[in-house]
Chains A and B, each alone.
Chain A
Amino acid sequence: DGGITQSPKYLFRKEGQNVTLSCEQNLNHDAMYWYRQDPGQGLRLIYYSQIVNDFQKGDIAEGYSVSREKKESFPLTVTSAQKNPTAFYLCASSIGPSGRAGDEQFFGPGTRLTVL
């Protein structure tokens, strides 16, 4: 079955540590996205990528980094510079070759990150 996988489902991190969240898709989609979800705040865009080896900052990119070396993969690193990283992180993808407006996004199951 085609879809988006995120791992791990739950992740615990000590303050000061970097941590990487995995996102893989086998939908052959060009565009991929990372969102952060906090209670009562909806989804906020962290980074997005329209093609391999290219990505752009979203609304809340500070303290995060990404790479897009393969079409299928778009890992997100939460660095120690992120002041409040505890949240639910969602990865998504869409089909458009340039992330066309109007294309729906397909979401993974999410990773819940907790900083201890």
Chain B
Amino acid sequence: AQSVTQLGSHVSVSEGALVLLRCNYSSSVPPYLFWYVQYPNQGLQLLLKYTSAATLVKGINGFEAEFKKSETSFHLTKPSAHMSDAAEYFCAVSDRWNQGGKLIFGQGTELSVKP
């Protein structure tokens, strides 16, 4: 079965530092991949998605992610963290033959940004 692993349930960075949130998927065929952000007590908002058009995907709020088939990874990065980036981030995957458009989510990574 398809699965997603997010390495690190908590990541802490200083304001202005590089943000790196890790996501690995398990699939023999490259799936569709998504990153979502969730602020406290709110729903999820799409940051970016990979659908095979380009391996480097740019999203909102300065985030980007690179699809690496050889590493089965889709890590999320941002060059310079801002206090407003503090939130929980979820990586999700969808099989290319998935009926119903179901997404499988990782367990989430909580990002803290220190002043």
Chain B contact-residue range equals 20 to 34
The 3 closest A-B pairs by CB, nearest first: A99-B101, A107-B43, A101-B98
B46 at the interface (CB under 8 A from A): yes
B41 at the interface (CB under 8 A from A): yes
Total of A-B residue pairs, C-beta within 8 Å? 74
Which chain A residue has the least Cβ–Cβ distance from B43? A107
Task: Write the nearest CB–CB distance from A99 to chain B, whole angstroms.
Answer: 3
Q: How far is the CA of A42 from the CA of B90 in the complex (A)?
A: 8
Q: How far is the CA of A6 from the CA of B46 in the complex (A)?
A: 18
A110 and B100 contacting across the interface, CB-CB below 8 Å: no
Residues in chain A within 8 A of chain B (CB atoms): 4, 6, 31, 33, 40-45, 48, 50, 56, 58, 88, 90, 92, 94, 96, 98-110, 112
Task: Write the nearest CB–CB distance from A39 to chain B, whole angstroms.
Answer: 9
Task: Write the nearest CB–CB distance from A93 to chain B, whole angstroms.
Answer: 10
